[in-house]
Amino acid sequence: MGEMKRSGNMSRDAVLTAAEMRKLETDAIMSGRVSGAELMACAGERAVAETLSLWPDLQDTISRAVILCGPGNNGGDGYVMAGILAGRGWQVDVFALGAPTRLPPDARANRDLWAAECPVHPLADAADAMASADLIVDALFGIGLARPLDADVVRVLRAVPTSTHRMSVDVPSGYDTDTGTILGDIAFPADLTVTFHSRKPVHSVLESSGCVVRVVDIGL
């Protein structure tokens, strides 16, 4: 049975759908209480903290991370994580799906921050790099996955090694958030999933297959 742990002073046991989560985020942003950029920064910071808390061995040596960033705000969280890990002295390689010009604003801002100092490689090149990574971060798709993964993404997921730490941001790419089913043939094989504010239906499915699920507060 996977472990589900709450971090911070989370008392909410609600399970939200993708639409409910999106409404909560949008209402919070529209109210002016918090910005999307602040939510994304907090999401990335908390995702790194939970990853290092579950796998403290990663802090003992200079580790190498491969971060897979998608075309939306889930990818944006990945760019935030890349900057944090690089700032801690990690070797970080980022592989991205989609054109930068199509990224939503907060994700684009974090991508450009990263790209100002470091390369962003095409996702298709990730397969070889993953073999020697200590940590692989799946920031391809979160609650916005709308259809089965395309063949080029499937090809990369098939190359994800079993012998490394595999962490997914919010939802492992390939899963439908609300039904917990895999939309196509494959999903990212996460050992850890860090989700934001509250669980979604997919997370109990993940736990039953042995994935550790951590829920973190992002100030919503």
Ligand X SMILES: NC(=O)C1=CN([C@@H]2O[C@H](COP(=O)(O)OP(=O)(O)OC[C@H]3O[C@@H](n4cnc5c(N)ncnc54)[C@H](O)[C@@H]3O)[C@@H](O)[C@H]2O)[C@H](O)CC1
Q: Interface with K ion by CB under 5 A: which residues?
A: 138, 168-169, 173
* The one among 50, 138, 170, 176 contacting ligand X by CB under 6 A: 170
Task: Report the distance separating Cα 175 and Cα 187, nearest Å.
Answer: 6
# chain residues binding ligand X, by CB under 6 A: 27
73 binds ligand X (CB under 6 A): yes
Name which of 148 and 189 has its Cβ closer to ligand X.
Answer: 148
Residue type, 26: T
From the list ligand X, K ion, none, which binds 201 (C-beta under 5 to 8 Å, kind-based)?
A: none
Which of ligand X, K ion, none interacts with 71 (beta carbon under 5 to 8 A by kind)? ligand X
Q: Is 176 in the site for ligand X (CB under 6 A)?
A: no
Residue 5: closest CA among 57, 74, 53: 53
Say if CB 30 and CB 23 are below 8 A apart: no
Residue 141 binds to ligand X (criterion: CB under 6 A):
yes
User: In whole angstroms, what is the distance from residue 99 CA to residue 107 CA?
Assistant: 12
Cα-Cα-Cα-Cα dihedral sign, residues 45, 49, 52, 55? negative
Residues 77-96, interacting with ligand X (CB under 6 A):
77
| Least distance between ligand X and beta carbon 158 (Å) | 16
* Residue closest to 121 by CA, chosen among 82, 90, 158: 82
Q: Classify residue 208 as exposed, middle or buried by CB count within 10 Å of its CB (0-12, 13-18, 19+).
A: exposed
Applying CB under 6 A, among 48, 149, 206, 213 the residue interacting with ligand X is: 149
Residue 40 in contact with ligand X, rule: CB under 6 A:
yes
Q: Is 24 annotated as a binding residue?
A: no
C-beta of residue 94 within 8 angstroms of C-beta of residue 81: no
Interacting span for ligand X (CB under 6 A) from 54-62, 88-96, 125-133, 145-153: 145-153
Euclidean distance between CA atoms 28 and 34, whole angstroms: 6
DSSP 148: P
Q: Which residues are annotated as a binding site for (6S)-NADPHX?
A: 73-77, 142-148, 170
Q: Which residues are annotated as a binding site for K(+)?
A: 74, 138, 173
Residues in touch with ligand X (CB under 6 A):
25, 36, 39-40, 43, 70-75, 77, 104, 141-150, 169-170, 196, 218
